[in-house]
Amino acid sequence: MSKLERLIMMAEDELVQYSTTARKIEKLRPKFCLSLTKIERQQAKAELLADMPTDDISQLVEKNRQTVTLPFWGIAGLGLLLGISMEQPLDFIATVVGTGVAIAIQKWGWQLQARRLVLQTLEEIENPANLTK
């Protein structure tokens, strides 16, 4: 496992807890400082900046992943409802597809949020005078 992947996993662990972004960054700062040298932090930041998608869809999923997946959860529920009530086994395909797409989008958005949190933490370590929002 690379060091960047470890940083992303640490950020995912922090995303689980309900707190502000600033509090999450404050919790991650000591972990990042102890596990990486300054050069490794700069390399990780450069790699993250190169890998972060900049298109509109990725940014929408990162900021509103649950809103984006809501229609797919609806399709899954409707397929289940129609499959049971009308005894149409083909409607269960919509349930499987809708659930799969919704879970995939949720996972993608979660990973994008974790990457953004790592990037914000690395920037905060470099410039401690900047206050994150």
pLDDT tens digit sequence for 76-111: 999 888 888 887 878 888 899 999 999 999 999 999
Residue 133 included in any domain: no
Predicted TM-score of the model (pTM): 0.83
Measured CA distances, 62 to 1, 59, 84, 106 (Å): 24, 5, 34, 9
- pLDDT number for residue 35: 86
Could you tell me if residue 35 is inside a domain?
yes
Residue 97, in any domain of the structure: yes
- Answer for the pair 92, 80: CB distance below 8 angstroms, yes or no: yes
Domain that holds residue 35: 3-126
In this structure, is residue 132 part of a structural domain? no
CA distances from 50 to 53, 65, 78, 104, 115 (A): 8, 22, 40, 23, 12
CB 28 within 8 Å of CB 117: yes
Domain membership flag for residue 8: yes
In a domain, 112, yes or no: yes
pLDDT, position 90: 80
Q: What is the pLDDT of residue 58?
A: 92
Q: How many domains does one find in the chain? A: 1
